[in-house]
Structure 1
Amino acid sequence: MRRHRIRRLTLTLTMVLAAVAVPGTAQAAPYCGLVWGSQPEVGAGAAPADTDMVMGVRSGRHGCYDRLVVDLLGQDTTFGSYDVRYVPGVVEDGSGRTVPVRGAADLQITVLAPAYDGDGNATFTPANRREVVDVAGYRTFRQVAWAGSFEGSTTLALGVRARLPFRVFVLPGVARSDFGPRLVIDVAHRW
């Protein structure tokens, strides 16, 4: 009888231990199924056309990430020239001055399109260079600041809560319309 109890206890303990995950053997599922990273994203598409211009910047909140969108105008329906990366500090185009932003990580967004037309007239001027869009209440974004538009490229400083995974992609525009391509930057709420 005693041997039977010991055997039953041993079997029960074995089953309990088998049900407990051994550290390091199981991988957690990616957050929201996102498999992004935090390394630089560079779009080396065709050289931007002379008509590609920054027309606006906007943002949005989603269940798993915060989104920043740069609206472009041009004759092309595609756009692929950008550089998005974490940096120790974003610098202002032309002057080289640091653009301070709130948050524990700085994401530099460089779009190879000016925020002015061929005659030098502004196509986009933020009302407030320090707060290009209002991101109050966002889970990941802390601040979007203007770093300038100089010699055919435009730079934004995105202050992020931490160095979090992100992705970058381009949504095509509509041919022969005022709807140009859009550069989209999504930053996950967590790893």
Structure 2
Amino acid sequence: MRRLGTTLAVLVLAGTGIAGAAGTAQAGTAAAAAEAVCETGWGSLEKRVAPTDDHKPPLTNIRTGQHECFDRMVLDFKGGATAGALGYRVKYVDKLTTPATGEIPVSGGAILQISVGPNYDPATGTDSYPGQHGQPLPGVDITGYQTFQDTRYADGLEDGVVVGVGVRARLPFRVTQSGDHLIVDVAHSWTAATS
């Protein structure tokens, strides 16, 4: 009888070990499932939209944020939502250049150029955004970002604004408009899982 009790105790302990291992495996699977699956099918080719009826609201602010799958830049405009589509052109370039001043150095493995406009308020005739030609974006700190490595402001043609974003490599990006905001997301990688 004593052997039967010992055998049962061993089987119970073995069963607990198997259940514990299964629980650990399930927890690992749950953690893997909880890991974000990142959309990366955005591609890296130019994205462009013409403004609605030549409506070009003035740029008022630029801010950035870090997300699990991408780094984000948001450009804020005055009165963009009421008039329709904001005009923009976003593409990778070999160099950030302007006709008047030539090349503006941008750090990183690739340069994403964002062209919008203008940088003045037509109601007042004054600058609407405090960017300085060739300098980093004012108030934007990208220290520790996974994808963004540098930012530069440039005066574009016809009072337009050009922003150069130095990124780690030529990575997929998307551009969306939400009301008065133009949102540029650059993925952390080409793969579909977070790194």
Q: Determine the C-alpha separation between the residues in 1 that align with 2:141 and 2:155.
A: 18
Q: Determine the C-alpha separation between the residues in 1 that align with 2:54 and 2:113.
A: 19
Within the candidate set 48, 55, 76, 2:60 is matched to 55
Unaligned regions of 5+ residues in structure 2, if any?
1-36, 191-195
Unaligned regions of 5+ residues in structure 1, if any?
1-30, 173-180
Within the candidate set 139, 144, 149, 1:142 is matched to 149
Contact 1:115 1:149 in 2 (8 A): no
Contact 2:58 2:120 in 1 (8 A): yes
Tell me the TM-score normalized by structure 2. Answer: 0.70
Query: 1 or 2, which has the higher helix percentage?
Result: 2
Contact 1:114 1:153 in 2 (8 A): yes
Q: Determine the C-alpha separation between the residues in 1 that align with 2:167 and 2:59.
A: 22
Partner of 1:6: none
Q: Determine the C-alpha separation between the residues in 1 that align with 2:106 and 2:189.
A: 20
User: Does residue 1:89 correspond to 2:113, yes or no?
Assistant: no
Deviations along 1:61-104, whole A, 9 cap, x unmatched? 00000001110002653333100000111113x51511111101
Q: Determine the C-alpha separation between the residues in 1 that align with 2:69 and 2:174.
A: 12
Larger mean CA deviation between 68-77 and 152-161 belongs to 68-77
Within the candidate set 130, 134, 138, 2:135 is matched to 130
Taking only the aligned residue pairs, the percentage that are identical comes to 37
Opposite residue 82 of structure 1, the aligned amino acid is Y
Tell me the TM-score normalized by structure 1. Answer: 0.72
User: Does residue 1:183 correspond to 2:182, yes or no?
Assistant: yes
> Alpha carbons of 1:128 and 1:96: their partners in 2 closer, same or farther (altered >3 Å)?
closer
Contact 2:80 2:181 in 1 (8 A): no
Partner of 1:34: 40
Larger Cα-atom Rg? 2
Aligned residues: 151
Q: Residue 33 of structure 1: SS of its match in structure 2?
A: coil
User: Could you tell me how far 1:135 is from its partner in structure 2?
Assistant: 0.7
User: Does residue 1:116 correspond to 2:120, yes or no?
Assistant: yes
Opposite residue 115 of structure 2, the aligned amino acid is T
User: Could you tell me how far 1:129 is from its partner in structure 2?
Assistant: 5.0
User: Could you tell me how far 1:148 is from its partner in structure 2?
Assistant: 1.5
Q: Residue 36 of structure 1: SS of its match in structure 2?
A: coil
Q: Residue 58 of structure 1: SS of its match in structure 2?
A: strand
Within the candidate set 140, 161, 164, 1:157 is matched to 164
